[in-house]
Structure 1
Amino acid sequence: MSKPIVAIVGRPNVGKSTLFNALAGEKISIVKDYPGVTRDRIYADVTWLNYQFTMIDTGGIEPESKDLMLKHMRAQAEIAIETADVILFITDVRQGVVDSDFKVADMLRKSGKPVILVVNKVDSFEKFMPDVYEFYNLGIGDPVPVSGASRLGMGDMLDEVAKHFPESATEEEEDERPRVAIVGKPNVGKSSIINRLVGEERVIVSDIAGTTRDAIDTAITWQDKEYVFIDTAGLRRKSKIKEELERYSIIRTVTAVERADVVIVVIDASEGVTEQDAKIAGIAHERGKGVIIAVNKWDAIEKNDKTIYEHTKRIREILSYMPYAEIVFISAKTGQRVNKIFDIMDVVIQNHALRVATGVLNEILMEAVAMQQPPSDKGKRLKLYYITQVAIKPPTFVIFVNDKQLMHYSYTRYIENKIREAFGFSGTSLKFIIRERKEKE
């Protein structure tokens, strides 16, 4: 089940980022140790009571003039309307209601998406309540007073947000078909790949209206198996929003990846793998999805017997944080190896949902510990008691140890490699949670 997406919209200086940071808490969604993964924080995972959602900040570009301002606000609103399940419209009690607030409110109201009107910078309810009432004039419901800086009113705001989340028993839940997202920089050939997959004679295509969003997903049946390609309509029609703004394409990517089981990251062979590719792949990695790297336009490359090897090596270097990703060299134009994507997808889908018996895991753990002694510090040695798999998509393991501080990243990586040696798990990341247990337990 994909997490709901909540988008933040609002003029510059209304305190969007303060609010974003207050909600994201210290759990910043951006991964520290991977080079090339985006640093400007656009999205974060938020947990509130028993709800989990992904929050997206649509803003960030600050136009100079009044006219540009409105254009920018409209673009933000469009993105929010297109991708979000719930929209947080942020205004500023100290600036009061301004003209562009009305215009954006109109757009949001017409969208039919749930909108929560948030009035920020209300550091004292007694003092500012009369000013808050002015925001009723926007005509999008009750204003929710908050202060991002002093974290007042956050709970009430999140309660409002959560009211609009789909009940967990939505139709998406029962849909067992694997969901696939095709992502990548503009012009790497994402839509040609879709059209090529759709265009195969043996493929049956049907459009499904999106359950929670207006995206049109495409069901593709290949050799009696059905796959759902996410919002391929969005790929086929050039988005209304200009793709130049990198931030916007990243937001679309986050939304697509969030809903997918398997992500196909498309790279342009003639350009080779770039920093931007690393950012996009990083989103899929961080979200624990199955990953396939499709190197497109392979027909356009001068080749000798080392070309594939050199390209693979370069991809592995730049995407060093995801050595498990499957790589396939294709040409959407000629159709070369495009069908192979289905075979690789099947493997990745299987691995992404693979469960390993606890007994077998513990045998591997004991053997690994015997082969390479766990690290020690100031005379205290790490002990690993037990491992068990607690989830799939991605496969997630809990390891019980005597002291969390001693369990270095590198030793976790070593255990991961041992598990991969035994079960492959190609195409999917693995997640490890380290828990402490006292000796006596």
Structure 2
Amino acid sequence: MGGIVAIVGRPNVGKSTLFNRLIGERRAIVEDVPGVTRDRLYGEAEWFSRRFWVVDTGGLDLEAQEEIPAAIRRQVLAAVDEADLVLFVVSAQEGITPADESIAQLLRKSGKPVLLVVNKVDAPVHELYVPEFYRLGLSDPIAVSAAHGKGIAELVEAVLARLPQEDEGEVVGDDAIRVAIVGRPNVGKSSLVNAILGEERVVVTDVPGTTRDAVDIPFRTPEAEFVLVDTAGLRRPGRVGRGTEYYSTLRTLRALERAHVAVLVLDATEGIVEQDRRIAGYAWERGRAVVVAFNKWDAVERDPQLSVRYEREVRRDLYFLANPPVLYISALTGRKVSRLLEEVRAAAERFRFRIDPEELDAIFRDAVLLTPPPSVGGKRPRLYRMRQVLTGPPKFVVEVDDPSLVTSGYLGYLENRLREVHPLPGVPIRIEAERYVARRRTPSGSV
């Protein structure tokens, strides 16, 4: 992913409209995974074959305030700190307000790149008001109408010119297992990172991070090479309190974008809460293998039934994770931290799973014979074959005469039959229907 763009501004300047305009018809990052709440503050934009995150920070109501309140100041600083580029949105129709001046002053001190976006230039007369905004002392104002799409192409060109290229600075080999430590604030992610790096069997290598704002830490054990991705902020617990929940969520999304395996850290003193389910959904939708780790096991009562209860909660509340491995660890004492790395390595192997084509064909044919696909509108699809097209995570294609006749429920059935033979716990399996194309064999025998 080629960078993070944060949209900042006071209420009613059209930030959300600009957000929706930038992400276009692309889906929001968080899908409608059962048990997972859609979060509309994050979007994935793609323009001119380049992708980047877009974050709508919400309205900053600074008017009638002599100084920025401490809580709002922390929110703005958190947004600016995480972003590669800030879009400061103002309204041409309202002119410069005291709130605009306060935010502009804050942004000038931040040292981050800022584009001044003058929105609501909906009519020619509004263009006369644009030069006024030079007074804010930021970049040249870019006039747009987010509601009508005017000036958006020019804005996007300016954005892309200031964002890092995708995968800029990549230095880690393909064989290393990329691990994202994810979880809600205060579950012990920072302590776990430090516990992993403090293991006697771990050798930390001093390699620069692979992105401008992230810190990737490669290390190795006798069994495998690993990379803890995007640990900036995880190794400094104090940063968590500086921003709101959705800025730590942004760090999670950025880490998951580049990971193979996500370690979902839960608080053993509290059990599973809604935010845990949401973060688990982020990892699953991004197609990452998941290992669940209940941290702070040293702090809970020695109840022999507690682990049984938590296992049951994982199967119930995080059922979409396909029976992930569950560990009970203590980052403070080091309990089962080595075992956690072993489970991560096993999850990475499952993540790269590839099935023998003949075995897959046998599973597919048996499944179809046992339960043929249902009819849709009086028509029953004709299934020809199933083949694996990708690993990491495993992705399969079912070739059919009419893909529109294959229901999601039937694709789920095929996944379940495949998991009966290869459970792949904690690893997503993607199955799609694709139109069958007859292949003619040439005289030489090639396809």
- Do they superpose with TM above 0.5? yes
Decide whether the 8 Å contact of 1:73 with 1:104 is kept in 2: no
Aligned length, in residue pairs = 438
Q: SS of 1:380's equivalent?
A: coil
Partner Cα distance (2:425, 2:368) in 1: 23
Partner Cα distance (2:305, 2:397) in 1: 41
State the partner residue of 2:395.
396
Q: SS of 1:434's equivalent?
A: strand
State the partner residue of 2:40.
41
State the partner residue of 2:28.
28
Q: Aligned pair in 2 of structure 1 residues 99, 244: CA closer, same or farther (>3 Å)?
A: closer
User: TM-score if structure 2 supplies the norm length?
Assistant: 0.87
Partner Cα distance (1:332, 1:401) in 2: 50
* Identity percentage of aligned residues: 41
Alignment of 1:289 with 2:259, yes or no, is no
Letter of the 1:10 counterpart:
G
Shift of 1:275: 1.0
CA RMSD across the alignment: 3.0
State the partner residue of 1:375.
374
State the partner residue of 1:238.
237
State the partner residue of 1:337.
336
Partner Cα distance (2:153, 2:391) in 1: 31
Q: Aligned pair in 2 of structure 1 residues 411, 69: CA closer, same or farther (>3 Å)?
A: farther
Shift of 1:43: 0.9
Q: SS of 1:234's equivalent?
A: coil
State the partner residue of 2:265.
266
Shift of 1:3: 4.8
Partner Cα distance (2:299, 2:291) in 1: 21
Letter of the 1:434 counterpart:
A
Q: Aligned pair in 2 of structure 1 residues 385, 335: CA closer, same or farther (>3 Å)?
A: same
State the partner residue of 2:114.
115
Partner Cα distance (2:40, 2:302) in 1: 39
Partner Cα distance (1:264, 1:175) in 2: 21
Q: 1:132 aligns with which of 115, 130, 133?
A: 130
Decide whether the 8 Å contact of 1:9 with 1:76 is kept in 2: no
Matching of residues 41-190 of structure 1 within 5 Å: 41-59=40-58, 66-67=65-66, 71=70, 74-109=73-108, 111-124=110-123, 126-168=124-166, 170-172=168-170, 175-176=173-174, 177-190=176-189
Q: SS of 1:279's equivalent?
A: helix
Shift of 1:329: 1.6
Partner Cα distance (2:314, 2:372) in 1: 32
Decide whether the 8 Å contact of 1:178 with 1:227 is kept in 2: yes
Q: Aligned pair in 2 of structure 1 residues 285, 341: CA closer, same or farther (>3 Å)?
A: same
Decide whether the 8 Å contact of 1:42 with 1:251 is kept in 2: no
State the partner residue of 2:444.
none
Matching of residues 355-366 of structure 1 within 5 Å: 355-356=354-355, 360-366=359-365
- Higher alpha-carbon deviation: 80-89 or 105-114: 105-114
State the partner residue of 1:301.
300
State the partner residue of 2:383.
384
- Higher alpha-carbon deviation: 386-395 or 340-349: 386-395
C-alpha offsets along residues 239-270 of structure 1, whole Å, 9 cap, x if unaligned?
44636732333233223323322211111112
Q: SS of 1:219's equivalent?
A: strand
- Higher alpha-carbon deviation: 261-270 or 197-206: 197-206
Letter of the 2:369 counterpart:
A
Partner Cα distance (1:437, 1:138) in 2: 59
Partner Cα distance (1:361, 1:145) in 2: 56
Shift of 1:430: 2.3
Shift of 1:229: 1.6
Q: SS of 1:170's equivalent?
A: coil
Shift of 1:278: 0.7
Decide whether the 8 Å contact of 1:265 with 1:294 is kept in 2: yes
Q: Aligned pair in 2 of structure 1 residues 421, 192: CA closer, same or farther (>3 Å)?
A: same
Shift of 1:9: 1.7
Shift of 1:234: 1.3
Q: SS of 1:435's equivalent?
A: strand
Decide whether the 8 Å contact of 1:265 with 1:281 is kept in 2: yes
Which residues of structure 2 form unaligned runs of 5+? 441-447
Shift of 1:273: 0.9
Q: SS of 1:79's equivalent?
A: helix
Letter of the 1:123 counterpart:
D
Partner Cα distance (2:377, 2:410) in 1: 17
Shift of 1:166: 3.3
Decide whether the 8 Å contact of 1:384 with 1:402 is kept in 2: yes
Decide whether the 8 Å contact of 1:273 with 1:314 is kept in 2: yes
User: TM-score if structure 1 supplies the norm length?
Assistant: 0.88
Q: Aligned pair in 2 of structure 1 residues 379, 194: CA closer, same or farther (>3 Å)?
A: same
Question: Larger Rg: 1 or 2?
Answer: 2
Shift of 1:65: 5.0
Shift of 1:370: 1.6
- Higher alpha-carbon deviation: 169-178 or 7-16: 169-178
Letter of the 2:162 counterpart:
H
Shift of 1:317: 0.8
State the partner residue of 2:276.
277
Partner Cα distance (2:7, 2:283) in 1: 22
- Higher alpha-carbon deviation: 378-387 or 265-274: 378-387
Partner Cα distance (1:60, 1:316) in 2: 39
Letter of the 1:28 counterpart:
A
- Higher alpha-carbon deviation: 321-330 or 217-226: 217-226
Shift of 1:112: 4.8
Q: Aligned pair in 2 of structure 1 residues 353, 102: CA closer, same or farther (>3 Å)?
A: farther
Partner Cα distance (1:222, 1:440) in 2: 47
Letter of the 1:144 counterpart:
I
State the partner residue of 2:427.
428
Partner Cα distance (2:66, 2:386) in 1: 59
Partner Cα distance (1:99, 1:59) in 2: 18
